[in-house]
Structure 1
Amino acid sequence: AKTLQMAEAKREISSEVKDSNPYSRLMALQRLGVVKDYTKIRDFTVLIVGVGGVGSVVAEMLTRCGVGKLIMYDYDRVELANMNRMFYLPSHQGLAKVEAAKISLSEINPDVEIEAHNANICSLAEFDKFKERILHGSPAGERVNLVLSCVDNYQ
């Protein structure tokens, strides 16, 4: 079984353009003046509700961009029917979507802190825990910077 090799320390975000720098193309935004300081992305915590068709793509792009922390909520499981539109793999079948997403996203960018919650936030007990993560989910125990609703159904 393959084990995930997590980075002990986050890689520096370098502006040097070279094939071994995963952030070099993104740093072009800073060089073009679109972004003042791209490295500040590491200070952001984003919470995503729903990691299905839309949420899995959002989570992947935020991970590739190097966001500091990603918190995911979903209560669904990976099915083979998900393979045509999400980054899940056939070997993920039956896993909670957030757990499978954490596996994949940690491989994509080990610099991102990823927190997975297999929970239905519509239940009162889970909603209280969800609110707590919004208010104190950042690495410093502060409010998250952004909450994204990527749910595909409403209850």
Structure 2
Amino acid sequence: MNEPRWLDELEMAAWQGFLEAGHRVARRLEQQLKDDAGLSHPQYEILVHLSSVPGGELRMTELADRLITSKSGLTYQVGQLERRGLVRRRACPTDVRGVFAALTEEGRALLRAAAPGHVAAVRETLVDVLDRDQLAVLAEALGEVGRRLRRA
């Protein structure tokens, strides 16, 4: 059996910094969206993804892949948005198991209203805290982690 490779001081500092920053940024953004738009962060991201595609609709499986979430978690969040009239679901005409999520005009309007405050909160909690060199390192480093995990 191989001996574990324990984290050295720098590795531990990077790991703990990543965890703390990630949790604190997520908590702050979640609260901002709840206070300003009555949305959870996953719900906001659903609206963003739907608004970014022609026709404002995606198959639920593709939306789950884009959001890196489970189908059941997505179903719950889309259900919450549907109850508020922000998203509607429709059956896929070519696949009896397929379901589309579609952005409604009300959802598009709420997203337009929520986006400026959300971007300001992203800037305040992360982007404007770092200089351009730090942002470049962060983008490259986290991009590499994401690419490796996508391939795995």
- Shorter chain as denominator, the TM-score bin is under 0.3
More helix by share: 2
TM-score, normalised to structure 2, is 0.26
| Structure of higher RCO (CA pairs closer than 8 Å, 6+ residues apart) | 1
Which structure would you say has the larger Rg?
2
